[in-house]
A = this chain, B = another copy of it.
Amino acid sequence: MGRVLVIGAGGVSTVAVKKMAMNADVFTDIMLASRTLSKCDQIAADINNIKVQTAQVDADNVEELVALFNKFKPDLVVNLALPYQDLHIMDACLEYGVSYEDTANYEPLEKAKYEYSWQWAYKDRFEKAGLTAILGCGFDPGVTGVYTAYAAKHHFDEINYLDIVDCNAGDHHKAFATNFNPEINIREITQRGKYFEEGVWKDTDPLSVHKPLNYPNVGPKESYLMYHEELESLTKHFPTIKRARFWMTFGQEYLTHLRVIQDIGMARIDPIDYNGQKIVPIQFLKAVLPNPGDLGKNYTGETSIGCRIRGMKDGKEQTYYVYNNCSHHAAYLETGAQGVSYTTGVPAMIGAKMFMKNIWKKPGVWNVEEFDPDPFMKELNEQGLPWHEQFNVDLEM
């Protein structure tokens, strides 16, 4: 049905490409490219039903990207590289003329700052080129936007309160490890907290607001208010929202490790001089920490991510909780990757599938909640991320 080029070869890519191969009727030709060819080859070697091509590419080099696009002639480029490479890849897509999908919004390399402005600024150019760009199609952002769109479409006349809750009740049995790229992880968590209320953004000290929330099949877990990028697009696209917040669980030990990593200067994103060479401490730290892609084998427990929504339906207040629980071990058995990679990689594949099937295809730059959620929700149930609904329960909001 279509040719897909995936850029990036981490844990999320491992899942996305394997899932694409399981949907080989849609993804008839798959290429996987990253800075390190051997990583691509390793992922491709695990796939038997279809030949996955591999290539070496520097995702920051627009010319190299365009040359690769010219060679492979993709219908869609799925960007699973690092967030600060988004714009280079979008530039290359425009230059060559191919549609685009990613899972995390652009942030400048020098400053951890999450906003869609940079990517939304491409809307006109994609529209004029007749190309589709699907932004943020992992789990959060991604499924959380689809959940919200689905709730708005089927269960609410207006959504007033939205709490996105992200719990990882897993145990990788390491003293410390991050579940995805530690650089991105630490940049994200160390930023100031921010939430939307009554038309304005309110900010908090990093991780200073927290409370225990109850997660299905998990129980209570201390959850921390933090900023997450889908809050920006969802409050824009659902203007009836009075308050939108994002909560993520962290263990005390994780937070202690994080605090120390900052204290000792290893979270720094500016280069230091080491024996006459410029090295960014957080990038060196990444090389020392366990590879998130290798955590799967001994990972027990599950994730639980969902949307808790309060709003009006037929003149009455209603609450709604839609969520998925994902077992790390089941994810590992299926793809060799842990649940955090799995819950991001599967929606990336589904978004690409929506595009390939012409269901999510319209010129411009779009967040996932701007498309029809129903076919995506159907795929979630079929591709390993089944969702569950609870109506009019206590949402702890």
Contact = CB atoms under 8 A, between A and B. Distances in A.
Interface residues of A, number: 23
Contacts of A289: 264-265
Given A256-B256, A274-B279, A288 B265 contact: yes
Interface string A277-305: 00101001101110000000000000000
Contact of A272 (B265, B272, B281, B288): B288
Given A266-B266, A274-B279, A279-B274, A176 B260 contact: yes
B266 A176 contact: no
Per assembly, the copies of the chain total 2
Contacts of A288: 264-266, 268, 272, 281
Nearest to A176: B263
A272 B287 contact: yes
A261 interface: yes
A152 to B, nearest CB: 42
Interface string A247-284: 00000000011001111111010001111000101001
A285 B264 contact: yes
Given A261-B264, A272-B288, 9 more contacts: A256-B260, A257-B260, A257-B263, A268-B288, A272-B287, A274-B279, A274-B284, A275-B287, A281-B288
Interface of A: 175-176, 256-257, 260-266, 268, 272-275, 279, 281, 284-285, 287-289
